Amino acid sequence: MAERSDRAPARWRRPFLRWLDGVEAGWAAPLLIACFVAIWTLYLAIAYAGGGLHPDTLEAWTLGRDFAWGYAKHPPLMGWVAAAWTSVFPASDWSLQLMAMANAGLALFFVDLVSRQFVTGHKRILVLLLLMLTPAYQFHAQRFNANAVLLATWPLATWCFLRAFETRGSLWAIALGCTTALAMVGKYYSIFLVASFAFAALAHPARRAYFTSASPWISVVTGLVALAPHLHWLATTGASSFTYALAHANGIAASSLVEVRTFVLGLVAAMGVAGMLWVLIAGTRLKQLPSDFAAMSPSLRLLFYVAIGTIVLPMLTSLAMGTDLPSLWALQGLFLFVILIVCGARYPIERFYTVNVTVIVAGVALAAVLIVAPIHAVHRNDQGYEERRNLYAQAAREVTRQWRELTGEPLSAVSGDGSLAFASAFYSPDHPSNVGPFEHEDTWGFPRKPSPDRGWAALCFRDQDLCNQWMEWVSPRVRHYVRREFTVRASLWGRPGLAREVVVLMVPPLDSKAPASAADEFSANRRATE
């Protein structure tokens, strides 16, 4: 059937075939990626119309407001990307949703750079289509954070590694050093990618030629030089982000076995749909897998060693150190296995199958936008989110209004619950600084050096016991304060949703005309609210 279709395609297939003819001309893959970014950005805009941005995305934006070579919890790349993006685009929901999907699109573009090292024509498109059926490039990507930022850096670094190993040229060696450093300042988990490069180079038959050349040593020196500012930051600031990463080690062997099993099963599940489609495409040709593996080209075998390293090395580390190992930490490496499977098949894949998978991908995307997204938006408006993100904007606007009413000045600093503080900094028209205690997220503490001349406010949801206990602890330690409560309600396209109470602690500026008796103000406001 596939062969007949390629010889005499149905009329509806002909536009797709003309599109596949443009792969080597250079426009077919970018067009596919651009459509992917556009339609999934539209999905996010509809599905989260009343939901607000994910706290991780808000955190990235907040960190990016102050350039640094490192931050309390994370390496700096996600903050840098958010800052660069909002220097061009506005700080709004649609803008950061587009940023998240543009990052996924860039990741797919870099994957295509790797694929074209091994195959030409529509097989390159098939690699992208199968990856688009994994959750990594839409649902994982929309939470733009230290994990999602690796979607683009890992395939870019892998491409540079392949070129550096094969050419042993100085420019590619420098590029490899820079891109691996970029991956490391995305998330320290990238050390497994770097170690996999070393493992692959050592396992490859051409290892002697590579290691006796200047290429690997140029890469090492370049990478260390590129990382030097971040390493200096770690050495001079107490290495809080490194300590935060190490906090995932619990040292319990039994739990590590469970983590490893869940890690593997999670990755298998993420590849489930793409894997089933490949089984249907290959059919009885799957029995050629052992012979295809034995005949694998040296370049593809190098990629195979990298892929194995990115899975085995984290598992061994987890077993040895007792670390957490969620499968979402490794989603950015799934492209390695898809390339290996598709590009390692020595038999031809008929374009019939690529067109079919294109239709499936397009159908899934359209169903997501037209059916799933509106249902999701309505459901979340009524039921809410665990992090209450569909109340963020309302809480931020209301605390800003009450602050201005109390002090007559713009709100300059916010603290309290981490997610609410991120949201208040983003959604408040004053865009206050976030002075939340990042480094004391579990034990809390006093806000980080807010200016007494400008004051600050802290927010908690009424049912957040830990946050409210912190508010009780910090209240007597300020000169004077005003404590209030108000109710915020979600809304979607004019339809009211769930409501929650918010508690606010406001510490007015020193020269403010705020009430002298905070207790009287709080009591009066509580009676009015009730």
The tens digit of pLDDT for each residue in 357-398 reads 999 999 999 999 999 999 999 999 999 888 889 999 999 999
Domain co-membership, 201 together with 130: yes
- Return all residues near 343 (Cβ < 8 A) that are at least 6 apart: 115, 118, 119, 123, 127, 300
379 belongs to a structural domain: no
Question: Which pLDDT score is estimated for 172?
Answer: 97
306 belongs to a structural domain: no
Domain co-membership, 360 together with 503: no
Domain co-membership, 354 together with 464: no
In b/e form, how buried is each residue of 320-351, taking b as 16+ CB within 10 angstroms?
eebbebebbbbbbbbbbbbbbbbbbbeeebbb
CB distance 13 to 5 below 8 Å: yes
Domain co-membership, 456 together with 360: no
CB distance 461 to 502 below 8 Å: yes
Nearest CA to 351 out of 116, 37, 10, 113 is that of 10
270 belongs to a structural domain: no
Domain co-membership, 409 together with 488: yes
Q: Which domain, by its residues, includes 490?
A: 389-529
All residue ranges of the chain with pLDDT < 70 are 245-254, 437-446, 448-453, 511-530
- Tokens 């509580």: give the residue: 526
The DSSP code for 348 is P
Domain co-membership, 365 together with 436: no
274 belongs to a structural domain: no
Domain co-membership, 500 together with 394: yes
309 belongs to a structural domain: no
Domain co-membership, 488 together with 359: no
Domain co-membership, 355 together with 212: yes
**What secondary structure, in 3-state letters, does 25-58 show?**
CCCHHHHHHHHHHHHHHHHHHHHCCCCCCCHHHH
130 belongs to a structural domain: yes
Domain co-membership, 160 together with 238: yes
CB distance 160 to 189 below 8 Å: no
Domain co-membership, 354 together with 500: no
- Could you give the number of structural domains in the chain? 2
262 belongs to a structural domain: no
Domain co-membership, 356 together with 484: no
Instruction: Please identify, among 340, 370, 400, the residue that sits at the C-terminal boundary of a domain.
Output: 370
255 belongs to a structural domain: no
